[in-house]
Amino acid sequence: MTDLLSLIIGGAFLLAGSFFLLVGALGLLRMPDLFTRMQAASVGETLGGSLLLIGMMIHGGFSLVTFKLVVLFAVIVFFGPVATHALARAARYAGIEPQLSTPPAGRPVGAPSAETAAKATKATKATKASKKARLTPAKARRKPAKKKARK
């Protein structure tokens, strides 16, 4: 009885995991830009992978196999999001902009519209001025010390 029950529940988990894995892979192939692809892929990896592993744990019962599956589960759940986060950060650092919406004709993808661009330049000017006031003295103090240390 319990055997049959574990078979059914484990099978359901396996099927659900397969579904999410497939959806994540489809999103990885079909999504329009890097960040949406990243989101789809991380869902497929984390949710699909962990559901598959939980299904296998239920099949495995209380044994060494289940312990190994728990280790694998922890590795996937901890390292998957870390790698995705590092990837998003590196992509932003490299200058890849997320595509926020479908732009009207005549404007290149990723370029801001006229009013948001005006707002953005105003805001950056203001923050740049205040940042300069804050940052320059500290930098001036720090730089000579650094040169000494490097020599």
Partner 1 sequence: MFTVAACTVVVALTLAVARALKGPTVFDRILAGNAIGTGAILLLAVFGFLTGRPEFLDIGITYGLLNPIGTLAALKWFKYGDIARGFDEDTGEG
| Residue ranges that bind partner 1, judged by CB under 8 A | 10-11, 14-15, 17-19, 21-22, 24-26, 28-29, 34, 37-38, 41, 44-45, 48-49, 52-53, 55-56, 59-60, 64-65, 68-69, 71-72, 75-76, 79-80, 82-84, 86-87, 90-91, 93-94, 96, 139
According to DSSP, residue 62 is labeled S
Provide, rounded to whole angstroms, the least separation between the CB of residue 100 and partner 1: 18
Q: Alpha helix (H) ranges present in the chain?
A: 2-30, 34-43, 49-60, 64-93, 114-150
Provide, rounded to whole angstroms, the least separation between the CB of residue 29 and partner 1: 5
Provide, rounded to whole angstroms, the least separation between the CB of residue 89 and partner 1: 8
90: Cα separation from own chain's centroid: 11
> 96 or 112: whose CB is closer to partner 1?
96
Residues with Cβ < 8 Å from 13, sequence gap 6 or more? 51, 52, 54, 55, 58
